[in-house]
Structure 1
Amino acid sequence: MTPFGARLRAMRKARGITLSQMAGALGVSSAYLSALEHGKRGRPSWYLVQGVIAYFNVIWDEAEELTRLAELSHPRITVDTSGLAPEATELANRIARDIGKLSREDAADLVQRLKHATGDKR
């Protein structure tokens, strides 16, 4: 599951909206929306994110957060480490190889450490 998919599903469930109701309102198939929620589809388009924001009638910080989560939600990424330090290439390869072995807590811890190391406040 991707960060955007998890948030989308939580918002939908909290409001008691079915997958087919939301899919119909957004003009997408239920299968696509389900795949998006479960991280089996790539990053949603800007237009779909805007449609979700309008559908849930969210504003400001929550809308910005949905947009940020969508940007971070491509389930299959490519990391180009050419020109970077060897440690960066090792890190990228270790993550690619071992990410499935991490617990949710360990993954969250690594994300927080990376945010701290890069000064990312979001």
Structure 2
Amino acid sequence: MENYGPYFKALRESKQLTLREVEKATDVSNAYLSQLESGKIKQPSPLTLHKLATYYGVSYELLMEKVGYPVPGKQEQARISTGAAAHRIGEISDEEEVELLNYLKFIRSRKK
């Protein structure tokens, strides 16, 4: 994925988190997170990706792959961490994944 910033933003927003909340939980500065989401960070460190993957509840390998790192021994992975949904909808593109995360954010915001 060439411009992965919207993906990171959609991940955060789908969980209804602010940059400050992510900063507090991961020790990754909100300024860095903002730059990551806007695409100004071209190659985030694997350590940062690991912290975000753990906090967001997504696969570390998936984030590594999204930003362009080679993932040795990569096995076929579901693009969505909720296994049952992934089996029902099948393979999705990166753009569809961002849209699904944005839609999930919308649905969760209506429940408030």
TM-score range for the pair, normalised by the shorter chain length: 0.5 to 0.7
Query: Matched residues in 1 for 2:44 and 2:9: separation?
Result: 14
How many aligned positions are there?
69
1:71: which partner in 2? Answer: 68
2:36: which partner in 1? Answer: 36
Q: Which amino acid in 1 is paired with 2:49?
A: V
TM norm structure 1: 0.50
TM norm structure 2: 0.54
Instruction: Output one character per residue of 1:62-100: Cα deviation in whole Å (capped at 9) or x when no partner.
Output: x4321111227xxxxxxxxxxxxxxxxxxxxxxxxxxxx
- Decide whether the 8 Å contact of 2:28 with 2:48 is kept in 1: no
Query: Matched residues in 1 for 2:12 and 2:21: separation?
Result: 10
Structure 2: unaligned runs, 5 residues or longer:
70-94, 96-112
- Decide whether the 8 Å contact of 2:4 with 2:67 is kept in 1: yes
1 or 2 for the larger relative contact order (CA 8 Å, sep ≥6)? 2
Query: Matched residues in 2 for 1:3 and 1:65: separation?
Result: 15
Query: Matched residues in 1 for 2:4 and 2:52: separation?
Result: 11
TM superposition shift of 1:6: 1.5
Q: Percent identity?
A: 32
Alpha-carbon RMSD across the aligned residues, in angstroms, is 2.0
2:8 equivalent to 1:11: no
Secondary structure of the residue aligned to 1:40 is coil
Higher helix fraction: Structure 1 or Structure 2? Answer: 1
Query: Matched residues in 1 for 2:4 and 2:49: separation?
Result: 9
Structure 1: unaligned runs, 5 residues or longer:
73-107, 109-122
Instruction: Give every structure 1 segment of 4 or more consecutive aligned residues whose post-TM-superposition deviation is greater than 4 Å.
Output: none
1:54: which partner in 2? Answer: 54
Structure whose CA Rg is larger: 1
Query: Matched residues in 2 for 1:16 and 1:27: separation?
Result: 18
- Decide whether the 8 Å contact of 2:23 with 2:30 is kept in 1: yes
